């Protein structure tokens, strides 16, 4: 007698079954978009229960949530909570719920899973979908003078070129204060210069020198890339628009978008192209981490180190030019592969650059960590408690500096990372600026090793594929580990070769909500280096205004004065003494 061989479970199937067993009748539908991605549709009223169960009960983390106007397709709006499962049965489980187009309401998941807070605020701004029970209902993306009844990403909403008339001349954003001190000093930082790509307004609530709480307003300049992509571009052109999301990690965004479409359409990328993508992602990490290490030197009052790190960083930019023809904005990725191969002479020159960088950066790091100011200005500063990190799903060196080795390159290996040997995610458990800095140092050295290993292991063969069938309205996730952390893109193609919905999530988007917890318990002098340790997509502050509530006085400080105070920690601008 023979027994029938049981077919192996698909990735994510244990999580789907666990939801079925725990919440009978909750799974209305389960479909796999890719080998490691499954989307389950649940009743809207069970959304918080299911997401919380997968998040805390099944080892999930939440990189993002996507809202989508699916009225032309299914007669409703839809929400997609993207969960990265990182314990047993690793992969991605997406929880989908439909929102009635008349009520426009759904139960908020944020009280159960705080990591959802920004995404649920944005869903109201862009679609008018209201999360009932959301603790923070303030606007996130849209400006204060935006019309209340205009939701840009609805399919029947505004043209992408429209500039609505302002409805108010007054900034009415309310900053939240959760401290207990009755008398505090408010320290506004910003808003930043209007030409910056991501300016913001920071409000520090201080008692003397100590930061009791903090709040901030970002999105002062919103470029509307998702609206442009859905309105004007063909789905394949969005790859090049994604390359322009960030001047540091644009290539990571381009890869993430391309892979979202490739996963949705079932496109097999040639192995050589996968190696090339990973090599260039690591080249991008090299110059990004050197930039941040230089800034750490600057905030510690070690400007000699700043100059040297930026001097050496030029070699990484030269390496990018060698391989792509550009210092930044490589324009290398296509749906189905890459545009340029790496030739033998480029390979040899790259290995020479790698060896020089390893030698020079090792010497600079030794110089940095032996500098007295580095220890005193980074150890114990800006602590991110692992419990806070677990609640908010931060990414990159921010979370790895708190002892949590989350890294999509190793949690969900993709492209050339699937073929690496002897590599793993770096982490430190100091939870402070120093730990985040040391993670970047070690990752820089690992990137050099990865580039060498990928160059040596890359097989010959094609770098593009065109052998696939385009199917409209399919969707999937694409993901990369950018220098600042995980970039997550969700893309759905439409009719006529158009992009129906594109949600691009940069690493910094996941990290901003934890910043107020990193500020608390530190001093005003620590503010600049704490923000810098996040390595955010963020530009320099124009000025800082110190308002003493008790004395009814105010003082305007320049950016240079605040940074100088950060470096020296003497002659506090709050003390009233001379600078």
Q: Spell out the alpha helix ranges (H) of 458-571.
A: 507-511, 515-519, 527-534, 559-568
Q: Do 552 and 497 belong together in one domain?
A: no
Closest CA to 335 of 489, 166, 464: 464
Q: Do 342 and 470 belong together in one domain?
A: yes
Q: Do 235 and 346 belong together in one domain?
A: yes
- Name the pLDDT band for 565 (thresholds 50, 70, 90): low
- Name the pLDDT band for 224 (thresholds 50, 70, 90): confident
Closest CA to 533 of 352, 416, 354, 381: 381
What whole-number distance in Å separates Cα of residue 192 and Cα of residue 242?
Answer: 24
| Among 185-194, 380-389, 464-473, 567-576, the least confident range | 567-576
* Biggest CA-to-CA distance, the chain: 93
Q: Do 241 and 362 belong together in one domain?
A: yes
**Looking at the domain assignment, is residue 569 inside a domain?**
yes
Q: Do 370 and 457 belong together in one domain?
A: yes
Domain boundary pick from 444, 478, 502: 502
Q: Do 244 and 162 belong together in one domain?
A: no
Structural domain count, the chain: 3
pLDDT (tens digit, 9 = 90+) per residue, 227-245? 989 988 999 999 999 998 8
**Looking at the domain assignment, is residue 34 inside a domain?**
yes
What whole-number distance in Å separates Cα of residue 564 and Cα of residue 316?
Answer: 29
CA distances from 328 to 68, 223, 319, 400 (A): 32, 19, 11, 26
Structure tokens at 91: 């992969």
Q: Do 310 and 235 belong together in one domain?
A: yes
Task: Give bridge partners of residue 210 from the DSSP assignment.
Answer: 207, 523
Q: Collapse the DSSP code of 458 into the 3-class scheme (helix H, G, I; strand E, B; otherwise coil) and give the result.
A: coil
Report the percent of the chain where pLDDT is more than 90: 70
On whether 116 is known to bind a ligand per the annotation, the reply is: no
- Our CA angle for 562, 563, 566, nearest 5°, is 90
Has residue 204 got a pLDDT over 90?
no
**Looking at the domain assignment, is residue 511 inside a domain?**
no
* pLDDT given for residue 573 in this prediction: 47
| Strand pairing category for 185-189 and 543-548 | antiparallel
* pLDDT given for residue 132 in this prediction: 98
**Looking at the domain assignment, is residue 498 inside a domain?**
yes
For residues 566 and 413, which has the higher predicted lDDT (pLDDT)?
A: 413
Q: Do 168 and 230 belong together in one domain?
A: no
Structure tokens at 50: 């299911």
What whole-number distance in Å separates Cα of residue 560 and Cα of residue 71?
Answer: 51
Q: Do 571 and 495 belong together in one domain?
A: no
Q: pTM for this one?
A: 0.91
Q: Do 565 and 473 belong together in one domain?
A: no
Q: What is the mean pLDDT of the chain?
A: 88
Structure tokens at 573: 């601008």
CA distances from 387 to 1, 16, 391, 530 (A): 54, 26, 6, 19
pLDDT (tens digit, 9 = 90+) per residue, 352-400? 999 999 999 999 999 999 988 899 999 999 999 999 999 999 999 999 9
Has residue 134 got a pLDDT over 60?
yes
**Looking at the domain assignment, is residue 179 inside a domain?**
no
Q: Do 268 and 137 belong together in one domain?
A: no
On whether 249 is known to bind a ligand per the annotation, the reply is: yes
- Name the pLDDT band for 4 (thresholds 50, 70, 90): very low
Is-contact 276 338, C-beta < 8 A? Answer: yes
* pLDDT given for residue 188 in this prediction: 67
Describe the strand order of the beta sheet including 91-99 as a list of residue ranges. 29-34, 37-41, 91-99, 76-85, 60-70
Mean pLDDT of 103-119: 97
What whole-number distance in Å separates Cα of residue 488 and Cα of residue 146?
Answer: 28
Is-contact 396 482, C-beta < 8 A? Answer: yes
CATH number of the domain residue 384 falls in: 1.10.645.10
- Name the pLDDT band for 63 (thresholds 50, 70, 90): very high
Has residue 7 got a pLDDT over 80?
no
Residue 38 buriedness (CB in 10 A; 0-12 / 13-18 / 19+): buried
**Looking at the domain assignment, is residue 570 inside a domain?**
yes
* pLDDT given for residue 117 in this prediction: 97
Q: Do 436 and 297 belong together in one domain?
A: yes
What whole-number distance in Å separates Cα of residue 366 and Cα of residue 375?
Answer: 13
**Looking at the domain assignment, is residue 182 inside a domain?**
no
**Looking at the domain assignment, is residue 238 inside a domain?**
yes
Q: Collapse the DSSP code of 216 into the 3-class scheme (helix H, G, I; strand E, B; otherwise coil) and give the result.
A: strand
Residue 23 structural domain: 13-172
Domain boundary pick from 131, 156, 172: 172
CA atoms within 13 A on the CB side of 202: 28
CATH number of the domain residue 132 falls in: 3.30.460.80
Is-contact 198 537, C-beta < 8 A? Answer: yes
* pLDDT given for residue 198 in this prediction: 56
Has residue 546 got a pLDDT over 70?
no
- φ, ψ at 459 (rounded to 5°): -80, 160
């Amino acid at each position: 007698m023979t027994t029938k061989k049981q077919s192996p479970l698909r990735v994510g199937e244990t999580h789907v079954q666990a939801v079925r067993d725990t919440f009978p009748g909750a799974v209305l539908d389960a479909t796999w978009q890719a080998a490691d991605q499954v989307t389950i549709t649940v009743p809207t009223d069970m959304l918080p229960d299911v997401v919380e169960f997968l998040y805390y009960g099944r080892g999930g983390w939440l990189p993002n949530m996507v809202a989508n106007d699916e009225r032309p397709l299914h007669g409703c709006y839809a929400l997609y909570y993207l969960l990265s499962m990182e314990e047993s049965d690793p992969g991605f489980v997406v929880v989908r719920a439909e929102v009635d187009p008349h009520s426009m309401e759904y139960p908020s998941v944020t009280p159960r899973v705080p990591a959802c807070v920004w995404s649920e605020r944005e869903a109201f701004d862009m679609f008018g979908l209201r999360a009932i029970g959301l603790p923070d209902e303030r606007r996130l993306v849209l400006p204060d003078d935006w019309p209340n009844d205009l939701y840009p990403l609805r399919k029947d909403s505004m043209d992408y070129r429209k500039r609505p008339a302002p409805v108010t001349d007054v900034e009415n954003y309310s900053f939240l204060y959760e401290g207990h001190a009755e008398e505090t000093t408010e320290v506004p930082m910003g808003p930043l210069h209007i030409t910056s790509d991501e300016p913001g307004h920071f409000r520090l609530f201080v008692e003397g020198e100590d930061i009791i709480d903090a709040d901030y307003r970002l999105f002062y300049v919103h470029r509307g890339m998702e609206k442009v992509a859905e309105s004007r571009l063909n789905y394949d052109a969005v790859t090049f628009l994604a390359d322009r999301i960030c001047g540091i990690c644009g290539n990571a965004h381009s890869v993430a978008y391309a892979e979202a479409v490739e996963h949705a359409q079932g496109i097999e990328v040639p192995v050589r192209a996968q190696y090339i993508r990973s090599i260039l992602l690591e080249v991008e990490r090299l110059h990004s981490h050197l930039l941040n290490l230089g800034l750490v030197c600057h905030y510690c009052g070690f400007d000699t180190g700043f100059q040297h790190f930026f001097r050496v960083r030029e070699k990484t930019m030269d390496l990018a030019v060698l391989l792509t023809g550009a210092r930044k904005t490589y324009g290398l990725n296509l749906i189905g592969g890459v545009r340029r191969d790496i030739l033998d002479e480029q390979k040899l020159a790259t290995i020479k650059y790698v060896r020089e960088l390893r030698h020079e950066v090792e010497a600079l790091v030794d110089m940095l960590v032996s500098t007295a100011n580095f220890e005193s200005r980074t150890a114990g500063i800006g602590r991110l408690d692992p419990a806070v990190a677990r609640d908010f799903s931060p990414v990159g060196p921010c979370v790895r500096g708190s002892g949590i080795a989350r890294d999509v390159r190793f949690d969900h290996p993709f492209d050339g990372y699937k073929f690496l040997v002897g590599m793993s995610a770096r982490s430190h458990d100091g939870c402070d600026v120093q730990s985040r800095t040391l993670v970047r140092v070690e990752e820089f050295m690992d990137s050099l090793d990865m580039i060498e290993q990928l160059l040596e292991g890359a097989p010959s063969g094609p770098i593009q594929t065109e052998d696939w069938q385009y199917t409209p309205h399919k969707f999937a996730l694409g993901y990369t580990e950018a220098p600042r952390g995980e970039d997550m893109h969700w893309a759905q193609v439409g009719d006529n070769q158009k992009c129906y919905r594109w949600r691009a999530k940069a690493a910094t988007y996941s990290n901003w909500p934890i910043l107020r917890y990193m500020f608390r318990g530190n001093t005003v002098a620590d503010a600049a280096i704490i923000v810098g340790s996040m390595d955010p997509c963020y530009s320099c502050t124009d000025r800082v205004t110190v308002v003493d509530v008790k004395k009814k006085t105010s003082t305007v400080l320049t950016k240079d004065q605040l940074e100088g105070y950060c470096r020296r920690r003497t002659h506090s601008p709050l003390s009233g003494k001379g600078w």
